[in-house]
Amino acid sequence: MAGPYLNYINGRWREPRSDRWFERENPATGEVIGRFPDSGADDVAEAVAAAAGAWETWRFTPAPRRAEVLFRAGELMTAGEDELARHVTVEMGKVLKEAAGDIQEAIDMTYYAAGEGRRMFGQTTPSELPSKFAMSVRQPHGVVAAITPWNFPMAIPCWKLMFALVTGNTAVFKPSPYSPLSAFNLLRIFEEAGLPPGVVNLVFGGDQTGAHLVEDPRVAMVSFTGSLEVGREIAAYCGRNGKRLHLELGGKNAIIVLDDADLDLAMEGAVWSAFGTSGQRCTAASRLIVQQPVAAGFTDRLVARATALRLGNGLDASTDMGPVVNQPQLEKIQRYMDIGRDEGATLACGGARATGNGLNSGYFFQPTVFTDVRPRMRVAQEEIFGPVTDIITCSDLEDAVAINNDVPYGLVTSIYTADTSKAFRALERITTGIVYINAGTIGAEVHLPFGGTRGTGNGHREAGQAALDSYSEWKSVYIDYSGRLQKAQIDR
């Protein structure tokens, strides 16, 4: 983790023109892990200028050649996977096995996107006129602003940057100030892989840095993953100024447990989905909609499992759950404890900061289960982003689906049932972008679209073939070799 940690602009590591810096601490220990640039308007402008200058060359580099750089990056990530995972744990807290999954997802996405360098298929179609050929091809947008969160500090940047690059865009990458080390590592990988100067540029900083980037008129597209509130602000600006926009804004996800479910399997899915990454996933299961005949027993077992989870430093192999990312997040979670109680919910376990046993220096929060939760309570509607889940009872499948769909978000739903017909009816009626049958809400694969409905996003998708539509646009091409003027529908 040796520094110095600098911005990366036009193929060079540079100190910030702003001459401002911030420190990032390990959320499990409070130890400072590095000092990073707090980039200002001049730094952002220089990075965007570099990306704009590199675009004309990069866009005309054959896509298979662009893909070769990505393949080399994937190989370098694979070779350094253990160290990269350790750095993820140190800077944002998730346990080491989850950090290794973060790196593996980044590797998988990199290889998948690289494969599109020899595909990226358009369409050919018969023309309605003689001696005329019709087809469509993809073309890049230009400079992409990639603004990413801290909870998947390698995977999510790779979701964005790898598809942006293979389709011929250049990029300015602004990571969260709570996960700067992984961003530094990723740019070192790009540099070693032979990415030409200016194709990807890195600027560290906070909200103001991101605002400068979004508002630069040379940025053609903004890809943002983060909170609904910030996403709405970016959407308003991009709408007024005609910028292309891709948003991923969170979830209020549910696991539905019917009375015919394999309850042991459902319990494993609930614990992993609610408390994995300390609940700091957009796919976390913060609602458990349980059919009334099995609700009491399921709740008792969940509380026992939650209170048995071992909290600690994610580098310790015996740790089940690490810290939350920072003090403001810890305070936000604590406020929701009061909100839930004031609305009439009951704390079955947890509900407070975890202390003692070496936890006092970090931002640890007890695994928490609310019961007596009604579907319209704030704790059942709003994204808390911590190790907190609700038990909501339902009468039958139709009631469960109605509760599930009645939230501002629409990312992922899981249902546990042994009845195939119920599973398919649920699949038809659930309105989230992702549905799991007899599995938790965590575990999307890179070759299928990732994203959701309602407040979760703006209709675009990460991953899979759908990501190409986010980072490119269609150009229809007509080639008339008739040697005479043909007037399309008029000539018919």
Phi-psi region of 433 (alpha: psi -120 to 50; beta: other; left: phi over 0): alpha
Distance between alpha carbon 128 and the CA centroid of its chain, in Å? 43
Q: Where are the alpha helices (DSSP H) in 123-221?
A: 155-166, 180-193, 207-215
473: β partners: 139
| Closest listed residue to residue 354, CA positions, set 336, 373, 333 | 333
User: Is residue 393 helix, strand or coil?
Assistant: strand
User: Is residue 224 helix, strand or coil?
Assistant: strand
CA distance 147 to 468: 18
- pLDDT number for residue 1: 59
CA distance 191 to 110: 15
For 171, the token pair is 């990029």
Domains belonging to the chain, first-starting first, are 7-249+457-477 (3.40.605.10), 253-437 (3.40.309.10)
8-state DSSP, 268:
H
- pLDDT number for residue 489: 87
Looking at residue 128, its amino acid is E
Looking at residue 38, its amino acid is D
CA distance 61 to 143: 15
| Closest listed residue to residue 429, CA positions, set 403, 447, 393, 465 | 403
Longest CA pairwise span in the chain (Å): 85
CA distance 376 to 1: 46
CA distance 386 to 378: 15
- pLDDT number for residue 77: 98
For 371, the token pair is 């019961």
C-beta separation of 148 from 94 below 8 A? no
| Closest listed residue to residue 110, CA positions, set 172, 64, 67 | 67
CA angle 434, 437, 439 (to 5 degrees): 90
From residue 416, alpha-carbon distances to 412, 413, 476 in Å are: 14, 10, 45
- Write 205-210 long-range contacts (CB < 8 A, 24+): 205/22, 205/37, 205/38, 205/39, 205/40, 205/43, 205/174, 205/177, 206/22, 206/38, 206/177, 208/40, 209/38, 209/39, 209/40, 209/43, 209/44, 209/174, 210/147, 210/174
- pLDDT number for residue 298: 98
C-beta separation of 348 from 301 below 8 A? no
Q: pLDDT tens track of the chain, all 492 residues?
A: 566 799 999 999 999 999 999 999 999 999 999 999 999 999 999 999 999 999 999 999 999 999 999 999 999 999 999 999 999 999 999 999 999 999 999 999 999 999 999 999 999 999 999 999 999 999 999 999 999 999 999 999 999 999 999 999 999 999 999 999 999 999 999 999 999 999 999 999 999 999 999 999 999 999 999 999 999 999 999 999 999 999 999 999 999 999 999 999 999 999 999 999 999 999 999 999 999 999 999 999 999 999 999 999 999 999 999 999 999 999 999 999 999 999 999 999 999 999 999 999 999 999 999 999 999 999 999 999 999 999 999 999 999 999 999 999 999 999 999 999 999 999 999 999 999 999 999 989 999 999 999 999 999 999 999 999 999 999 999 999 999 999 988 877
Task: Give me the phi and psi of 102, to 5 degrees please.
Answer: -60, -45
- pLDDT number for residue 41: 98
- pLDDT number for residue 488: 86
Task: Give me the phi and psi of 315, to 5 degrees please.
Answer: -75, -15
CA distance 161 to 172: 9
For 366, the token pair is 């007890």
CA distance 84 to 100: 8
Catalytic (active-site) positions: 282
CA distance 7 to 38: 9
Q: What is the pTM of this model?
A: 0.96
CA distance 151 to 281: 7
